[in-house]
Structure 1
């Protein structure tokens, strides 16, 4: 097991230890593009859905940690930073004011560093309102609208260029070959049939080798436009567009979107509009997998809530690459003895890992994942998102994504839920359907 590590904040000479921020209204945005016009830097932190969300540049503070208590330590660090912060916020809406972007390792045993990053400049947009936040640790910096606009302008002077596909670009195998992955799935099914667990999620990877450096901003714009019902994310080289919301907190309300059950659209008949509903909702295997995921979420979320509602039956979520069985859950959060509701990061700690990305029981599934995958998931299938000073936040599960390992090497991940009725060949095909968003956004083909 990894030993937890912390990165201390060491201010530069002349800088204060406390964070200081100002948030101001930022005028109107083009409704056709929204925040996409700000996705122009490959190093930007991004959280976008349907043109709204957050795009951030620079770095004012960073915290990294490994180990099983990574969520607890991250929350403690964030509380300490907030306690000494100076915040000017004329909007006071979720996502304004002091904010940190985060990405957490999937596994408590992972050597991959989980992180919270406080950016320097944030552009936000929600429900027709847009804002600009400037964050500094400089005790002498001016907290004015003019200073915020100047900081933003400096990051937008030279947008990063896109790239065109090159003949040398190729997609190579990852840790497991296709045949090895099918063997792993077959072994997983044996464990399920033996009654050791009811569901196991097994992932695999493939590697994109590029002739020229990846244009991350271009990839994100492609994903955000094509997968507008998903949450397009970028945090420190982890990029993707997830259809699954682990938890969203606004004041005292929590929301989640649970997916389990997948059907590839590439092989679907074009003249059968009821195909997806009939095949997914009519499949005992798919409904069973979905119910496991819903039960996992609601049972864990229950102690934090006073009431909870969800769809009586899952609906079919249509994405460009696949259909999913999906359910939305909404809950009213209870207050503690100090009159506070749990923060979004506290709920992330309670919920992760869900049955949707691990299996159930999670302890048995986690051990089998380490045995059968032969893969270091790193941040794949871990929580990715943001938290603000009020504890509001949005945390997705890092799916349909990749890690930029070097400027010319990008590792893609995809996984499938394994239950008693799973067939190795079908599960392998499902991974390819889940790789498709990133493969196409990178300008590659199989």
Structure 2
């Protein structure tokens, strides 16, 4: 049975043309490869984990914003667009119907434009069920299953050429050299030791310079296959595969995955199955860093919830490049006076930036990041994900990723949590372990 939300199609004064959409079941997904078969265009908007998620094509509407109120203004724009929308949705699952993909700048002072993008076509998969959404602002366009399939076919008709890595591809230094980054880490440790803050996250960048245009679709397929426990994302040239879920909202329930504490798998003893558990869970420094991140998230989330649960002890998350100390948090959301639970974007506004990507206290850490890092994070370590018309959404932290600056230039980012006891040489090595997913997907080495 289809569900419809019908309002006037005439836009209010100053408002753009109303959005119209239809979502229908879609049986074109191969159960073995799922959405990977749809990663054939370099400009696709992507959110994939375990072959589920969404791939979007085209652009029906876009909103961009900068400044400290970027989340509020983004949510206000989305509400205005929904107020005039006409939606036909056969499935009614989170992510179906009207949707916007989004990427937000890490810093409230950043000149980088945060953005929400409403695609024209979305192929989705939830619990093995495939679906297709067609979105338009053309008041004359047909909202039928045939129109949706035709729109999808047009995007798939001419897939982008996918170039393999070239022998001439190389990795160049970023804003800071390795020695300069170690000096910055040492300065950060001094601030922690002096009691100004308990944790500070410091990042650095490197640049991949390619002989041929980057094949983003190929890179995303590589990431999605190698890092299936992560969320592989792409929004407007921001690409990566993050292991950290900032917030997921689905039917009045919020979930988050917090990571803090890292151990490189390169060089780990193969004959010691308890190595990661012993080194991570047995490290006072790693446990301290993790607890700071957990306390930061749960303390901020608590006012929005009626109950909250998390692991009493962190677990070791095994990824192909590193091990992490991880904790999953689940919370039941509390309705406001009008009976509405907070949207995923409202929770993003409350939670970002977390101690996992900034530090604590946040204000002190943010100021030190701007003083010490010398680079512009842009969307790195900012929220990336999607929101639907019901307020459901998934927002990861844009980690283990890169920004495609030009067709042949890709900037990679990685950061480390600095606490008392951090050693500059160890933190530098950790950044290389975090660069590894993107380097391997690009087919480039040090």
TM-score by length of 2: 0.96
Secondary structure of 1:179's aligned partner: helix
Query: Residue 94 of structure 2 corresponds to which residue in structure 1?
Result: 94
Query: Residue 230 of structure 1 corresponds to which residue in structure 2?
Result: 230
Query: Residue 302 of structure 1 corresponds to which residue in structure 2?
Result: 302
The answer for unaligned runs of 5 or more in structure 1 is 1-10
Secondary structure of 1:268's aligned partner: coil
Q: How does 1:378-397 map to 2 (within 5 A)?
A: 378-397=378-397
Query: Residue 63 of structure 2 corresponds to which residue in structure 1?
Result: 63
- Decide whether the 8 Å contact of 1:28 with 1:129 is kept in 2: no
Query: Residue 347 of structure 1 corresponds to which residue in structure 2?
Result: 347
Query: Residue 116 of structure 2 corresponds to which residue in structure 1?
Result: 116
Secondary structure of 2:435's aligned partner: helix
Q: Which deviates further from its counterpart, 282-291 or 163-172?
A: 163-172
Per-residue Cα deviation, 1:207-256 (whole angstroms, up to 9, x for no partner): 00000000000000000000000000000000000000000000100000
Secondary structure of 2:379's aligned partner: coil
Secondary structure of 1:248's aligned partner: strand
Shift of 1:28: 5.5
Q: How does 1:7-46 map to 2 (within 5 A)?
A: 17-27=17-27, 29-46=29-46
- Decide whether the 8 Å contact of 1:308 with 1:330 is kept in 2: yes
- Decide whether the 8 Å contact of 1:199 with 1:418 is kept in 2: yes
Query: Residue 371 of structure 1 corresponds to which residue in structure 2?
Result: 371
Shift of 1:167: 2.3
- Decide whether the 8 Å contact of 1:208 with 1:409 is kept in 2: yes
Secondary structure of 1:285's aligned partner: helix
Give the whole-Å Cα distance in 2 for the aligned partners of 1:425 and 1:188.
13
Give the whole-Å Cα distance in 1 for the aligned partners of 2:142 and 2:64.
29
Secondary structure of 1:67's aligned partner: coil
Per-residue Cα deviation, 1:379-437 (whole angstroms, up to 9, x for no partner): 00000000000000000000000000000000000000000010000000000000000
Q: How does 1:138-157 map to 2 (within 5 A)?
A: 138-157=138-157
1:400 is aligned to 2:436 = no
Query: Residue 259 of structure 1 corresponds to which residue in structure 2?
Result: 259
Shift of 1:16: 7.0
- Decide whether the 8 Å contact of 1:16 with 1:139 is kept in 2: no
Shift of 1:29: 2.2
Secondary structure of 2:42's aligned partner: coil
Query: Residue 281 of structure 1 corresponds to which residue in structure 2?
Result: 281
Give the whole-Å Cα distance in 2 for the aligned partners of 1:53 and 1:315.
25
Shift of 1:32: 1.3
Give the whole-Å Cα distance in 2 for the aligned partners of 1:222 and 1:73.
35
Give the whole-Å Cα distance in 1 for the aligned partners of 2:362 and 2:299.
13
TM-score by length of 1: 0.96
Query: Residue 164 of structure 1 corresponds to which residue in structure 2?
Result: 164
- Between Structure 1 and Structure 2, how many residues are aligned? 433
Q: Which runs of 4+ in 1 moved over 2 A?
A: none
Query: Residue 128 of structure 1 corresponds to which residue in structure 2?
Result: 128
Query: Residue 268 of structure 1 corresponds to which residue in structure 2?
Result: 268
Q: CA RMSD in A?
A: 1.0
Secondary structure of 1:203's aligned partner: strand
Give the whole-Å Cα distance in 1 for the aligned partners of 2:176 and 2:26.
48
Per-residue Cα deviation, 1:270-295 (whole angstroms, up to 9, x for no partner): 11000000000000000000000000
Give the whole-Å Cα distance in 1 for the aligned partners of 2:340 and 2:370.
38
Secondary structure of 1:246's aligned partner: strand
- Decide whether the 8 Å contact of 1:105 with 1:382 is kept in 2: yes
Q: Which deviates further from its counterpart, 305-314 or 19-28?
A: 19-28
Give the whole-Å Cα distance in 1 for the aligned partners of 2:356 and 2:64.
26
- Decide whether the 8 Å contact of 1:344 with 1:391 is kept in 2: yes
Secondary structure of 1:267's aligned partner: coil
Give the whole-Å Cα distance in 1 for the aligned partners of 2:217 and 2:275.
35
Query: Residue 3 of structure 1 corresponds to which residue in structure 2?
Result: none
Query: Residue 312 of structure 1 corresponds to which residue in structure 2?
Result: 312
Give the whole-Å Cα distance in 2 for the aligned partners of 1:280 and 1:267.
15
Give the whole-Å Cα distance in 2 for the aligned partners of 1:366 and 1:385.
23
Shift of 1:130: 1.1
Secondary structure of 2:41's aligned partner: coil
Query: Residue 212 of structure 1 corresponds to which residue in structure 2?
Result: 212
